[in-house]
Amino acid sequence: MAANSVSHCFSLSIIMLFLYLQLIHCNVTYDRKAIAIDGQKRILFAGSIHYPRSTPEMWEGLIQKAKNGGLDVIDTYVFWNLHEPSPGNYNFEGRYDLVQFIKLVKKAGLYVHLRIGPYICGEWNFGGFPVWLKYVPGISFRTDNEPFKKAMAKFTQKIVQMMKDENLFESQGGPIILSQIENEYEPESKLYGPAGKAYVKWAAKMAVGLNTGVPWVMCKEYDAPDPVINTCNGFYCDYFSPNKPYKPTLWTEAWTGWFSDFGGPNYQRPVEDLAFAVARFIQKGGSFVNYYMYHGGTNFGRTAGGPFITTSYDYDAPIDEYGLIRQPKYDHLKELHKAVKLCEKALLNSDPNIVILGSYEKAHVFYSESGGCAAFLSNYNLRSNAKVTFNNMHYNLPRWSISILPDCQNVVFNTAKVGPKASRVQMVPTNVKIESWETFNEDVHSVDDESSMTVKGLLEQLNITRDTSDYLWYTTSVRISSSESFLRKGTPLTLSIQTAGHGIHVFINGQLSGSAFGTQQKRKFSFTKNINLHPGENKISILSIAVGLPNIGPHFETWNIGVQGSVVLHGLDEGKKDLTWQKWSYKVGLKGEADNLSSPNSIPSIVWTRGSLETLKHPLTWYKAFFNAPGGDNPLALDMSGMGKGQVWINGESIGRYWTISVNGNCTGCSYVGAFRQTKCHFGCGGPTQQWYHVPRSWLKPTRNSLVVFEEIGGDASKISIVKRLTTTDK
């Protein structure tokens, strides 16, 4: 018995040792050169694909296209405000199914970089924070503040535990090899002082203490505490070095383009410039590059932040908003990845030996342990091509380019020589009929009914709506004496309104008097316009509009929107009348929202009206119609160019905000960063920033799909059409 007992204990010890060694073997580690997975150092290419900016039906195809494009890793933020819409109530269903998304990445044989944050920026509403967090007593965001740290730690722990429960960390055999805590804090840290530094140390310690078995990173955070790795975000990161010599050089956001805001231009980043930036980063010791975005997707619903960020988050990414490959960006980057992987052993084995080839020309030469050689030949001159001699051979280097030589002899790739032809995009009519139109007009006269509240003074919008709606009514009344001289003269009064943004529609006695909006660059604005009042009681109703909450900046708890400052009437016999501190009635949202008109299954208390749309262009109008799904499998969109501004739903699913405001300001040419560094080019003159709005195929039924539109200003709904997106490649 004693012998058997010893044998049994010995066997258990061997098993435990084996499991321990397996755990150690699976841990992700790093040194100054690179991330090591299962003990093997790797040069890794990643791409950002955000699960809620597409649909579950699209995920597998997007991930496979990323793999085919030469990526090793899928990068995604975690969206706190989607997953915890109210304290302690979680949602991980449908587009929010983070676990399923990561499992699909694993199925494809790729890794995951999970950027928990939980602050994400991302041009996302409130930077990913749930709005209820603003109203936690005593809170101060992103600083050494106990209420904030408690909430942040709870959500971070929730996500980490979900991943552990599903064995999704690499240390458990899963695909997650990196996690991120916080996000781009360094630009704000000076405003927080010592409390900000203490917060960074706390956040790092909290994250590392969760024992995930994979490294944590902090992007744009130079003083990231050990063992957390600080990383770079930007158009270029060749200047970047980690804060400790034993940490690898990682680029968490290589910007493939830029986001668009309503009224602004759209952007493109030439792939030649992007490839040059990546190759230059690699030749200077970089070993991890994440493209932000690889697929940008769509800001469905009210998720866009900014404010004023468009519903499209296309980002000029290698895979476009609709899931189609964008050429030549996709294939040119794919060839870059292949070329770099051919040099991987040499790149990870040695530091570069730099050879000066000319005034702007250099060679970065690397050697592997087996004696192999790889070289990057660069020409930093943006204006002129160059001829150089390297290893007794002659090479032509286009301007602003890098040639990659995996054997130090033969060029397999040059960043400026683009082989793939450009893909052309067409939005083609489907001839689908949108029929059975019905309408409902919001009743401006009922906005101060029994469901409204009345107080003295102007209240901040977010404190009342808690972001449950884009809309808040401010209503007051003004009595005009029949003896007022302006009535006899027939001259109008002037109404002035100061706001904190983002837009207003002003109604006088139920009639639209005017509208005004801020911009992404200048959110606060004022409204000044002549108005007509009549003797007796006059009602002034202001519909204040949010166009997505800000997503970047310090002290989220102090942000405000809505009618703030003053409301003043000018031109009365008494001179001016300040309405700011008189009684105002407040009502959250619209009648159509309260009745859930966007849902095909709702039973509203209102009655829809059938009729012709040709002469109907009233403000604050709801439209409903039906259509059959177009045949085929091409991606679909709504052409909203005939409308003004509002929101749109298909079968109860929110496509998002639309706004056909035309591009203003500079919409041609390119912007530059640093010495001759081309970053992004503008286009879109003469039309709206966004005309087409993505309709996921999976949201459609074969027949009788409901389309609901809420139009704020007044548009021609009869011009709404369904189009399909086609791409062709030049021969």
Nearest to 349 by CA among 330, 327, 368: 368
Distance in angstroms (rounded) separating the CA atoms of residues 528 and 579: 14
Looking at the chain, the number of H-run helices and the number of E-run strands are 12, 41
Question: In this structure, are residues 150 and 137 in contact, taking their beta carbons and an 8 Å threshold?
Answer: no
Question: In this structure, are residues 304 and 548 in contact, taking their beta carbons and an 8 Å threshold?
Answer: yes
Distance in angstroms (rounded) separating the CA atoms of residues 269 and 572: 55
Report the run of H or E that residue 46 belongs to, with start and end.
strand 44-49
Q: What are the C-alpha distances in Å from 293 to residues 75, 148, 165, 328, 479?
A: 9, 29, 29, 16, 56
> Of these residues, 84, 253, 272, 593, which one is catalytic?
253
> CA quadruple 164, 167, 172, 174: dihedral positive or negative?
negative
**Parallel/antiparallel/unpaired status of strands 503-508 and 453-456:** unpaired
Distance in angstroms (rounded) separating the CA atoms of residues 124 and 307: 9
Distance in angstroms (rounded) separating the CA atoms of residues 611 and 436: 9
The count of other CB atoms within 10 Å of the CB of residue 94 is 12
Strand ranges, E, within 360-422: 361-367, 373-379, 386-390, 393-397, 401-405, 413-414
Q: How would you classify residue 6: left for phi > 0, otherwise alpha for psi between -120 and 50, otherwise beta? A: alpha
Site of tokens 């790149």 = 347
> Of these residues, 182, 184, 188, 557, which one is catalytic?
184
The CA radius of gyration of the chain, in Å to the nearest whole number, is 29
Instruction: Tell the burial category of 710 from Cβ atoms under 10 Å away from its Cβ (0-12, 13-18, 19+).
Output: buried
Distance in angstroms (rounded) separating the CA atoms of residues 668 and 681: 7
Secondary structure, 3-state, 471-502: EEEEEEEEEECCCCHHHHHCCCEEEEEEECCC
Percent of residues in the chain assigned helix, strand, coil, to nearest 5? 25, 35, 40
The string of DSSP letters for 556-573 reads GGG---SEEEEEEEEEET
The count of other CB atoms within 10 Å of the CB of residue 637 is 23
Distance in angstroms (rounded) separating the CA atoms of residues 297 and 292: 12
The count of other CB atoms within 10 Å of the CB of residue 373 is 18
Q: Which two tokens stand for residue 164?
A: 């552990």
Site of tokens 């050494």 = 144
> Reduced to 3 states, what is the DSSP secondary structure of residue 511?
strand
* Cis peptide bond upstream of 364, omega within 30: no
Indicate the residue type of 659. W
The count of other CB atoms within 10 Å of the CB of residue 572 is 16
Q: CB under 8 Å to 431, separation ≥6 — which residues?
A: none
> CA quadruple 317, 321, 327, 333: dihedral positive or negative?
positive
Question: In this structure, are residues 242 and 286 in contact, taking their beta carbons and an 8 Å threshold?
Answer: no
Task: Identify whether 253 is a catalytic site residue.
Answer: yes
Distance in angstroms (rounded) separating the CA atoms of residues 448 and 7: 84
Query: Catalytic amino acids?
Result: 184, 253
